[in-house]
């Protein structure tokens, strides 16, 4: 009886720990959604942080493609890696479009190289589990409210671009130039009032840049 009681307590503890991990509720919401409406097969999977979450009406931007959105706002590369089996691998997508890394640096806790190392860890895991899937990384954008982190974000982008250039079936999509005006300055009107998240105007600039890369 004592053994059974200990086993029950251990099970409860493990379950509680799993539920306490950041974004667990978001992932469970995806799973509930999948049970109610099975996700499409062989889709282009968009995942990552809030720049994916706030891409409203994603399908309307790429009507000729089958897309699936599984972003969870505020997430870092380490979170995507933690949930990779549940937000990427289980869907067996033909292509992954990832936006992540900005929050890693903006916490002030991760350097460009540490962020890059997190990306490599995620990439290698996904490539091992899903070797034929095209891996597309959207460059870390420059947000007005995070100006102090721009140098680190530029460095992380450079490292990730160089890494992917040496790998097959990968793409680095630099969306930053599309966000600049004719004067070379970041367009303020493409951001929400928080100067961090983009509004629809921003995504209207991103879409034609990304479209040629979609399978």
Q: How confident is the model over 59-99, as pLDDT tens digits?
A: 999 999 999 999 999 999 999 999 999 999 999 999 999 99
Whole-number Å distance between alpha carbons of 153 and 51: 15
State the number of CA atoms in the 13 A half-sphere of 5 facing the CB.
2
Q: How confident is the model over 175-206, as pLDDT tens digits?
A: 999 999 999 999 999 999 999 999 999 999 99
Whole-number Å distance between alpha carbons of 179 and 142: 9
Whole-number Å distance between alpha carbons of 10 and 17: 10
Element housing 202 (H / E) = helix 200-210
pTM, two decimals, is 0.90
On the question of pLDDT at 152 being above 90, the answer is yes
Unique residue bearing structure tokens 């889709």: 43
On the question of pLDDT at 17 being above 60, the answer is no
On the question of pLDDT at 1 being above 80, the answer is no
Domains of the chain: 1-38 (no CATH), 40-213 (3.40.50.1110)
Q: Which residues pair with 47 in a beta bridge?
A: 70, 98
Per-residue pLDDT averaged across 38-52, rounded?
97
């Amino acid at each position: 009886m004592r053994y059974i009681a200990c086993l029950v307590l251990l099970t409860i503890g493990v379950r509680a720990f799993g539920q306490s991990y950041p974004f667990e509720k978001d992932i469970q919401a995806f799973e509930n959604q999948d049970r109610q409406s099975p996700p499409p097969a062989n889709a282009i999977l968009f995942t990552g942080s809030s720049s994916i979450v706030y891409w409203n009406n994603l399908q309307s931007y790429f009507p000729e493609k089958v897309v699936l959105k599984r972003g969870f706002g505020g997430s870092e590369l380490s979170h995507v890696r933690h949930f990779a089996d549940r937000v990427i691998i289980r869907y067996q997508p033909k292509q992954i479009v990832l936006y992540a890394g900005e929050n890693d640096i903006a916490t002030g806790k991760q350097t460009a190289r540490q962020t890059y190392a997190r990306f490599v860890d995620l990439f290698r895991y996904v490539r091992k589990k899903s070797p034929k899937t095209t891996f597309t990384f959207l460059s870390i954008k420059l947000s007005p409210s995070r100006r102090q982190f721009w140098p680190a974000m530029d460095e992380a982008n450079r490292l990730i671009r160089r890494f992917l250039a040496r790998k097959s079936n990968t793409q680095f999509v630099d969306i930053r130039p599309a966000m600049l005006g004719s004067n070379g300055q970041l367009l303020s009107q493409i951001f929400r009032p928080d100067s961090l998240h983009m509004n629809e105007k921003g995504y209207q600039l991103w879409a034609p840049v990304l479209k040629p890369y979609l399978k």
